[in-house]
Amino acid sequence: MAAGLFLAGCSGDGVDRTVPLESHDFAYGGLESFTGAVGEKVEFEMTNKGPAPHEFVVIDPDGMTMGGIGPTAPLAVGRKKLSLRKPGTYTFACFVDDHLWRDMKGTFEVR
């Protein structure tokens, strides 16, 4: 999996940082070392490097869906701004077709 590059600082579009990630063949790359900060507003930027559509849905520590990047075509880029309001473990997953069953999911921490 590819390592992510995090762009720090406040950008002109109201986010604290942009978090790039990749989706491909039932896996995500780039979030292995990502940790969010409580109150931080991030823009997730997913590049689909796989042959099928993928999405990136984020679920907060209470199990509530926060939102995410909808189905994104191969070689396309999808973006979503989210505010990380609570500390804890957040889950992300792809709900396209059988991708979740193929274990296309992961977690990140917010402190």
Q: What is the arithmetic mean of pLDDT over 90-103? A: 97
Q: What is the arithmetic mean of pLDDT over 86-98? A: 98
Instruction: Inform me whether the pLDDT recorded for 11 exceeds 50.
Output: no
Instruction: Inform me whether the pLDDT recorded for 78 exceeds 90.
Output: yes
pLDDT-derived band at 13 (thresholds 50, 70, 90) equals: confident
Q: Write out the two tokens for 90.
A: 């957040």
Instruction: Inform me whether the pLDDT recorded for 43 exceeds 80.
Output: yes
Give domain 17-110's CATH architecture: Sandwich (2.60)
- Are residues 44 and 68 in contact, defined by beta-carbon separation less than 8 angstroms? yes
Per-residue pLDDT at 3: 35
Instruction: Inform me whether the pLDDT recorded for 45 exceeds 90.
Output: yes
Q: Which of 4-8, 15-19, 62-66, 88-92 has the lowest mean pLDDT?
A: 4-8
